[in-house]
Amino acid sequence: MNNTAQAGQRGKDIRSDCWIELQQNEAGGNHIILESKVRSLYGRQIEELLQKGLGFFGLHNVTVRIEDSGALPYVISARFEAAVKRLLPEKNQSFLPDAESQVQTPSSRDRFRRSRLYLPGNDPKLAINAGLHQPDGIILDLEDSVAPLEKDAARILVRNTLRLVNFYGAERMVRINQHALGLEDLQSVIPQKPNVILVPKCESKENIEEVEHAIEQILREQELSWDVFLMPIIESAKGTINAYEIAQASENIVALAIGLEDYTADIGAERTLGGEESRWMRGAVLNAARAAGVQPIDTVFSDVNDMDGLFASSREARLFGFDGKGCIHPRQIDVVHRAFAPEQKELEKAMKIVIAFDEAEKCGLGVVSLGAKMIDPPVVKRAHRTIEIAIRSGLLTQDWKEAYHA
C-alpha cells in the first residue's frame, strides 16, 4: 500500500486551487506544512480546516503538505477528501462543507436554455464567477473535460461547488460520465439538487432508463423530493436514429442536445465550418425533440475567437428551429443571446398577434384574426414565446403593451 497520495493542482499558473499531499507515518502525530501567498491572512483558517478534516476521517500520524494558490475553503476540503480517499480507499465518508441554500436555483421544463456554459469539473477557478456572465445554464462537466485519473477528484469538487457556489439564477447542470462511472457521479451530485443532468453519448432509451432509475433510487433512499430534469446528448449515428425514442424515454427529459465532434468522428466525416456533413443529423434531432415536446439544443461553436462566425452559426441554429446553443467560453454567451433574440420585423408581428389575441378574448371571440388572416393557437403560442425572448433579451419591457397602445 502506498503511504502517500496527492490531489489538486500546483504550479505558477494555477489559481483558486491547491495541491495537497498526505503522507502516512508510523508515528509522530499529525503535522501540517502550509505554503501559501495568503498565509498571513488565512493561514490559521486553512490549518483549522485541515485539522477538522483529519479528525473527521480519524487520521493519525499523517503529514499534510499543502501548496495553496488562493483556494476557497470548499475547494481545500474537496482536495483534502480526494487525497484521503486515494490514500485510504476504505474511507468512504463525505467531508461536506455546510451548504448554502441561496445558491439553489428553481427551474421548470420550459425555461429558457438559449446558452449553456461548459465548465471543466476539475478546475475551480472557472466556476466561482461563472454566474456573473449570465448564461441560462452552467454545466459542471465530469466527462470529456476531465482526465480519467482525475474523475474521482472532480466528482468531489463538483459536489462541493453545487453546495456553495452561487450561479445567480443560471440553471445548475452536471454532465455525468457514461455507464457505471456516471452512476457514481449521480451518488455525489443528486443530493446537491442540480436542476439538469446531461447524459452524454446517449444512444438508446435504455441509457435514459438506467440514469433515471439511479436518480429515483438515490432520492428515495435519502428521503429527498425534488425534480431532476434530463438532457440527453446525441453524439452518434445510432443516437440520431433513436433520437425520438430517447426523447420520449422519460417525462423528466426537457431537451435534446447535439454533440458534433463525436458524431462526425462516428460517421467518418470531417467537421467543417459550414456544417454540411451534419445537417441531416441536426434536422433529425430537432424534429425528434419537437415531436416529443422537448427543446432542441444545438452544439457548441469551438472557435472562441470568431465572434462573427459564432453569431452566424447561432442565428442559423435559431432559424433552423433550435432553442439554444452550447458555449465553451463566457465571451460567447452575449453573442448567442443576441443571435437568438427576435429580429425587429419578427417582433413587430408577434406583438400584433398578441394584441389581436387579447382583443379577441375581451370580446369573447373564439377565433383570432389579424387583418383578413386567421391566427391558429400554435401561432399565438409562438408569438408569446417571441415576446418572452424579447423581454429577456432587453428588447422589450414588461409593460410593452402600454407603450404599444399609447
pTM listed for this prediction:
0.92
The answer to whether the CB of 240 falls within 8 A of the CB of 262 is no
65: three-class secondary structure by DSSP: strand
Name the residue type at position 70: G
List, in order of start, the domains of the chain with CATH numbers.
4-87 (3.30.230), 108-340 (3.20.20.60), 344-405 (no CATH)
Query: Could you state, in chain order, the average pLDDT of each consecutive group of 10 residues for the chain (406 residues)?
Result: 91 95 96 95 96 98 97 98 97 95 91 96 96 97 97 98 97 97 97 98 98 98 95 98 98 97 95 87 98 97 95 95 97 96 91 86 75 79 88 87 75
Residue 372 has what pLDDT?
A: 67
Residue 406 has what pLDDT?
A: 59
Q: Give the H or E element holding residue 188.
A: helix 179-189
DSSP conformation letters of 305-324: T-HHHHHHHHHHHHHHT-SE
What grid cell was written down for 272?
A: 467543417
Provide CB contacts within 8 A for 301, sequence distance 6+: 309, 310, 313, 314, 325, 326, 327, 328, 332
Cα torsion at 181, 182, 183, 187 (round to 10°)? Answer: 100
381: three-class secondary structure by DSSP: helix
Nearest to 93 by CA among 133, 120, 134, 53: 53
CA–CA dist 68, 76 (Å, integer): 8
Q: Give the H or E element holding residue 335.
A: helix 331-340
